[in-house]
Amino acid sequence: MNLLFLTLLDFKTLDEQNIYTDLLRLFVKKGHNVVVISPTERRNGENTHVISKDNYKILKLKIGNIQKTNIIEKGISTVLIESQFTAAIKKYLKDIKFDMVMYSTPPITFANVIKFVKKRDNAKSYLLLKDIFPQNAVDLGMFSKSSPIYKFFRSKEKRLYTVSDRIGCMSDANVRFVLEHNPKVPPEKVEVCPNAIEVKDSIILPEEREQIREKYEIPLDKTVFIYGGNLGKPQGIDFLIECLKSQKDSEDVFFVIVGSGTEYQKLNDYYSSGEQKNIKLMPSVSRDDFDKLVAACDVGMIFLDKRFTIPNFPSRLLSYMQAGIPTFAVTDVNTDIGEVIRAGDFGWWSESGNLEAFVSVMSEISASSLEDKGANARKYLLENYTVESNYKIIMEQ
């Protein structure tokens, strides 16, 4: 089968580790011919070019700047993506007949590209729904439902759902949300195709655990909570800081925050004040270093803004599960990540914005067997979130 994968992730090889490259490597391993269109932003100074490997190709498409730029440039670049991807397929991939085109959100502006490939090649289409936009932006107060921006992107979202033969959602709550808010979408085309990875052995020996903690100046005698990933508005950083403050007098816990994002400076201001001694803030590290750091900690943390009405399901959960440590999720009430964690008995959940609940769960964690819940996490990962499972789901169509 010839598979075309469209993404806004900037990567040059499938050897990287993330939920998309892990899945694509499995397609290659199964004997399929994989072609990826991955952008290179204008700031990188690269022209459009093709990277050819033995069994896959990556078309590096030059586009405008989308990440770490002002909202006007980002908006213009996002709108232009659709025509740029279509033109690239016509120019560089005109001799390949694709059997399937697969893509993820963000962005939601791929509808015309999908329509073109389906019509030209009679291909099937599969959407990996990882982000429900523009509703998530409405939830965070970026614009209202009455704004022209919302109406424009909402129409794009509806078109993307219409042109997709299958829509793979991250969880049951995502399936319910899509069907409830898009009554014209046939229920039979929407299914659960969760975040998944190629599971590796990330559990480390006690000696290496000590070495890693010493390297990053993390106490050896405390329960270490780690948060890793984006530090932006979706994470509700103001409440994260409140949670940290509630534990500043605790002598038994230590918090490690690793990541980057628009709200990083807000966290850095608090960290630099020296008001709290049992925290460490670090910029993003490589994936390999992060996985080792997670394995040297005791509990993984997830934060989401309390205002969300869409059911987010952060893929960071998988890093914690792979390392065999439990997860403490502090989120809005609309995501079902807390239900999943409780069902698998591999962690805890409390409602974002409720500081009293957070403090109560912290006390509960101190009296729990972290080893047992960590083992449950690894077991649940192997049973539910492997790329092999996702491959079967996608190939059924």
Please tell me the distance from the alpha carbon of residue 376 to that of residue 368, in angstroms, as a whole number. Answer: 13
Residue 65: what pLDDT?
A: 80
Contacts of 219 (CB under 8 A, 6+ apart): 213, 254
Residue 260: how many other CB atoms lie within 10 Å: 14
Q: How far, CA to CA in Å, does 34 sit from each of 12, 114, 115, 377?
A: 14, 16, 19, 32
For 316, how many CA atoms within 13 A lie in the half-sphere containing its CB? 22
Cα(first)–Cα(last) distance of the chain, in Å?
Answer: 13
Inter-residue contact 132 to 106 (CB < 8 Å): no
Q: Which DSSP string do the residues of 191-218 spell out, in sequence order?
A: EE----B--------HHHHHHHHHHTT-
Residues 86-133: tens digit of each pLDDT:
999 999 999 999 999 999 998 888 999 999 999 999 999 999 999 999
Q: How far, CA to CA in Å, does 331 sit from each of 237, 338, 382?
A: 12, 8, 24
Residue 120: what pLDDT?
A: 97
pLDDT along the chain (397 residues), means of 10: 94 92 97 95 89 92 81 80 94 96 91 96 97 93 92 94 97 97 97 96 88 95 95 94 96 95 93 94 92 96 96 96 97 97 97 97 92 96 96 91
Inter-residue contact 163 to 115 (CB < 8 Å): yes
Please tell me the distance from the alpha carbon of residue 360 to that of residue 225, in angstroms, as a whole number. Answer: 16
Residue 204: what pLDDT?
A: 87
Q: Is 206-383 in the same CATH topology as 2-193?
A: yes
Expressed in percent and rounded to 5, the helix, strand and coil fractions of the chain are: 45, 20, 35
> Domain residue spans in the chain?
2-193, 206-383
Please tell me the distance from the alpha carbon of residue 24 to that of residue 298, in angstroms, as a whole number. Answer: 31
48: tokens are 């459009």
Inter-residue contact 123 to 100 (CB < 8 Å): yes
Inter-residue contact 112 to 82 (CB < 8 Å): yes
- The position carrying tokens 């908006």 is 75
Residue 128: what pLDDT?
A: 97
Q: Per this entry, what is the length of the chain?
A: 397
- Best CATH choice for the domain 206-383 from the list 3.40.50.2000, 3.40.50.970, 3.30.43.10, 3.40.50.2020: 3.40.50.2000
Inter-residue contact 261 to 234 (CB < 8 Å): no
Residues paired with 33 in a beta bridge: 2
- pTM, to two decimals: 0.93
Please tell me the distance from the alpha carbon of residue 279 to that of residue 259, in angstroms, as a whole number. Answer: 14
Contacts of 367 (CB under 8 A, 6+ apart): none
347-351 and 124-129 strand pairing: unpaired
Residue 72: what pLDDT?
A: 80
Please tell me the distance from the alpha carbon of residue 75 to that of residue 152, in angstroms, as a whole number. Answer: 12
Inter-residue contact 178 to 367 (CB < 8 Å): no
Residues paired with 125 in a beta bridge: 101
CATH level 2 (architecture), domain 2-193: 3-Layer(aba) Sandwich (3.40)
SS3 173: helix
Residue 31: how many other CB atoms lie within 10 Å: 8
> Pseudo-torsion of CA 3, 9, 10, 13, nearest 10°?
-40
Backbone angles phi, psi at 319, to 5 degrees: -65, -40
Residue 141: what pLDDT?
A: 92
For residue 313, which of 182, 150, 140, 168 has the smallest C-alpha distance? 168
289: tokens are 């270093």
DSSP state of 275: -
Residue 69: what pLDDT?
A: 73
Residue 107: what pLDDT?
A: 84
Residue 14: what pLDDT?
A: 95
Residues 47-83: tens digit of each pLDDT:
999 999 888 999 999 998 887 677 788 778 888 889 9
